[in-house]
Every structure is written in C-alpha cells, then in structure tokens.
Amino acid sequence: METAGSNPKRPGNPLWLLAEVTYKCPLHCVFCYNPTDYATYGPELTTEEWLKVLREGRELGATQLGFSGGEPLMRDDLEIMIAEARKLGYYTNLITSGVGLTEKRIAAFKEGGLDHIQLSFQDSTREMNDWLSSTKTFELKKRVAELIQKYDYPMVFNCVLHRHNIDHTQQILEMAEQLGAEYVELANTQYYAWAFENRDQLLPSHDQLRRAEEVTNKFRERVGDKIKVYFVVPDYHSTRPKACMNGWGSLFITVTSDGVVLPCHEARMLPGLTFPSARDHDLKWIWYDSPGFNAYRGDAWMQEPCRTCPDKEKDFGGCRCQAYMLTGDARNADPVCDLSPHHHLITEAVEKADRPTLPPNVKPIVFRDDRNSRLLSAKKTDTTPVT
C-alpha cells in the first residue's frame, strides 16, 4: 500500500462506495450530516444511472457498498439496486431509520441478497426531548427490529448522541437490549452540515460525556458478549484529530443523489474544488485523475504544523472540511489538534458547552427540511466565505 507521506503516483483502489441515493427523508434530524443545501440539487440519478455507478465502482475494486441517504427507502427502486449490487459481488449495507421498511420490502431485499442492515434510532418527532418515551418511535423500531430478526439479519443499532439525549444513554441502551440488538453504536454527533448549524445546542459537556461513558461501561459489564457496544467519542473533546476518511481519496468514494462524486460525504462544501458528476465521467477517471480527488492526497498540500509533524502519516492532519469550516482554509491543521494555532476555536466551543445551561441568546435549533435547506443555501450564496 502507498504511504500517505508521499505524493503517490497512483493511489490504491477505493474499498467503500457510499451511495447517497436520495436526500428525501421523512425525518428532520437536527444532527444530520447531509449537506445543508441539498434541496437546491439537481434531479436524482435514475435507476439505470445508479446501476452504471455500481458497475463502475465494482470494476474499480470497491467491495463494501452502503445504501444511504436521506432515507434510502424513499427510492422505490432500491430492490433493483440491491439485487444488482449483490450480483456484482458487493457486500451490501443498508443504512436506514426503518421508516418505510415493510415486510414486502425486506423480503425483496433478502431475496436480492442484501447482506446487512444498520437501523438508526432517530428523532422521528419534533419533540426532541420526548422522543425516547415516544410510543410512536418505540413501536416503529420494535416492528422493524422484529422484521430484521425474522429475515435473519444481525441487529445493528446506531444512535447519534448529543447534549439533549446523552443523559438518556442508559434508557437508549436498555431500549436496544429490549429490541434484541447484537451491536449498538453510540455515535456522538460529528459537527458538520446541519449538526454544525446546531453545534452550540448539541455539543455535550465534559460531565455529560463522562457520565455516558460510565453508564456504557457498566452496561457492557452486565451484558458481556451478548451485545457489543461501540462508543464513539466526539472529536471536539479530543486533542488529536481523527484520521478522517483514512486519508483523502484513499478508501472511500461517495456518490450523491444527483450524481456528484466525492472523496467524503461532506467534501462538496469545500470552495475552489469542482467535483465531477457520474453522469459525465466514469468513476475510474474521477477516482484516479480528477483534480478534486487529488487535491489533498499525499502531503504536498500541508502547511505547518502538519508538514513536519511525526503524526502526519497517522492522522493526515485530520479533517479538511472541519479545517475549512472553522478556519476558512481546508489546508490548515484540523483545529481539534492541540498543535493547531486554531485549537482555541474548539476549546472555546467546549467551554461554552460546559456551562450548566445554554445562554438565552443561543442560536435556535434548525431542523433539517427542504425549506430550511433553501434558506441556508440562499444565505451561503450571499456571504463571502471567511478567509
């Protein structure tokens, strides 16, 4: 394998293809990582166009395929895509909220060869504080969980944690147990897109985080091997950045609903880069030769302190999108790193989160929906980006 310390002439092939088949979604999650301007995107790829993407991804060597969204069940041709993907030899993963998963559909997915389903606990109501006790949510997840078990899939639950639900970690774990989960992922919110808009409302305090970890560890002790629990800490509470996407253009390729091909699902926000469409180019050219995919490969783009950092081959300077969102320059070190001259931007946000109550003037929560997406998109076009 090529190392990240050089500018490889030719990178390895992608292993992961993420197909964000639609941005339509029945939910309005405030922590959603979908682009905030999704409502302004062009028409979705057709079935035929998706099948072409799947073939090209497989020819490139991708083995893992994620059907995601939005809510992928909103596409009524998902059955066709799954069957084709399996025929091509992908390990197929469906990432879903379960809303819209009927027995007829799951039977067709099984028949078509779907390998794996990840069910997310999400806020299906706008009453965020009530959602855990919401009968509607529980009944829906219970029905879906029964279907998943009936069709012999592993029960994989994912729940995104934030300031308003992290204190319910115990109840979340118990609910997962009650529903027969084999794997539970408690993923702290990553602050991109909608979650970034809502960051001051969503970032948990140190104390909340510590308590949630304690509860999780106690739960692990009690259930032993029966349930595997993963607890993903928020990077804002770290001092070293995550090795984002395992390096730019190294393993992951994302295709968005309108066909734009990205090295990560957030990269479309970065200024000065144009990402090609799968409608106009094949994935092979896009992966190996397009300027966008080569922009942050290797380390020639790095600035100090990354350029001379001994960890640069380990964390690749963190996340380009986070560097851009917080500092205005994607080439900067991810400010999560305490060696970054911008690290105070992270510590200040965490200090704010550590106050017992949110200040009265905190930015109101923005729900992910088409109207807000258009509003945010218009706002973005009006303002000059910070540099």
Partner 1 sequence: MAQPQRIAFDHDAVIDIAKYYRFQWEPAQNCHVILYPEGMVKLPGSSGEIMKRVDGTRSLNGIVAELEQQFPGIELRADVVDFLEVAHGNGWIKPKAAG
Q: What secondary structure does DSSP assign to 276-325, as a single string?
A: PBTTTS-HHHHHHH-HHHHTTSSSTT--TTTTT-TTHHHHTTS-HHHHHH
Cβ closer to partner 1: 82 or 273?
82
Q: Are 190 and 33 in contact (CB under 8 A)?
A: yes
Q: Which of 55, 105, 110, 116 binds partner 1 (CB under 8 A)?
A: 116
Chain centroid, CA 168 distance in Å = 22
Cβ closer to partner 1: 65 or 353?
65
Q: Which of 41, 83, 91, 331 binds partner 1 (CB under 8 A)?
A: 91
Cβ closer to partner 1: 127 or 225?
225
Q: Which of 2, 15, 128, 350 binds partner 1 (CB under 8 A)?
A: 15
Tell me the C-alpha distance between 86 and 328, whole Å. Answer: 41
Name the β-bridge partners of 66: 18, 93
**Shortest Cβ 124–partner 1 spacing (Å):** 24
Cβ closer to partner 1: 101 or 269?
101
Tell me the C-alpha distance between 252 and 68, whole Å. Answer: 14
Q: Which of 40, 47, 63, 238 binds partner 1 (CB under 8 A)?
A: 63
Tell me the C-alpha distance between 243 and 334, whole Å. Answer: 10
**Shortest Cβ 91–partner 1 spacing (Å):** 4
Q: Per rule CB under 8 A, is residue 285 in the interface with partner 1?
A: no
Quick one: tokens of 280? Answer: 């106009």
Q: Per rule CB under 8 A, is residue 125 in the interface with partner 1?
A: no
Stretch that binds partner 1, among 59-67, 262-270, 308-316, 330-338 (CB under 8 A): 59-67
**Shortest Cβ 224–partner 1 spacing (Å):** 16
Q: Which of 40, 47, 64, 134 binds partner 1 (CB under 8 A)?
A: 64
If you compute the radius of gyration of the chain from its CA atoms, what whole number of angstroms results?
21
Using CB under 8 A as the criterion, what x/- string covers residues 138-167 for binding partner 1? --------------x-x-x-----------
Q: Which of 13, 134, 238, 372 binds partner 1 (CB under 8 A)?
A: 13
Stretch that binds partner 1, among 71-79, 89-97, 187-195, 293-301 (CB under 8 A): 89-97
Tell me the number of residues near partner 1 by CB under 8 A.
14
Q: Are 23 and 74 in contact (CB under 8 A)?
A: no
Q: Per rule CB under 8 A, is residue 61 in the interface with partner 1?
A: yes
Stretch that binds partner 1, among 43-51, 86-94, 241-249, 293-301 (CB under 8 A): 86-94
Quick one: tokens of 84? Answer: 């084709």
Q: Which of 44, 115, 197, 299 binds partner 1 (CB under 8 A)?
A: 115
Strand 252-255 and strand 261-262: pairing?
antiparallel
Is the alpha carbon torsion for 164, 68, 244, 341 positive or negative?
negative
Tell me the C-alpha distance between 6 and 316, whole Å. Answer: 11
Cβ closer to partner 1: 279 or 284?
284
Q: Per rule CB under 8 A, is residue 93 in the interface with partner 1?
A: yes
Q: What secondary structure does DSSP assign to 180-194, as a single string?
A: T-SEEEEEEPP-SHH
**Shortest Cβ 262–partner 1 spacing (Å):** 19
Tell me the C-alpha distance between 344 and 190, whole Å. Answer: 18
Q: Which of 4, 60, 106, 286 binds partner 1 (CB under 8 A)?
A: 60
Using CB under 8 A as the criterion, what x/- string covers residues 250-279 for binding partner 1? ------------------------------
DSSP-H helix ranges across the chain: 47-60, 78-88, 103-112, 135-150, 169-178, 193-197, 199-202, 206-223, 283-289, 291-294, 312-315, 320-327, 344-354, 370-382
Quick one: tokens of 384? Answer: 């000059």
**Shortest Cβ 226–partner 1 spacing (Å):** 15
- Tell me what percent of the chain is helix, strand and coil, each rounded to the nearest 5: 40, 10, 45
Residues that bind partner 1 (CB under 8 A): 13, 15, 60-61, 63-64, 89, 91, 93, 115-116, 152, 154, 156
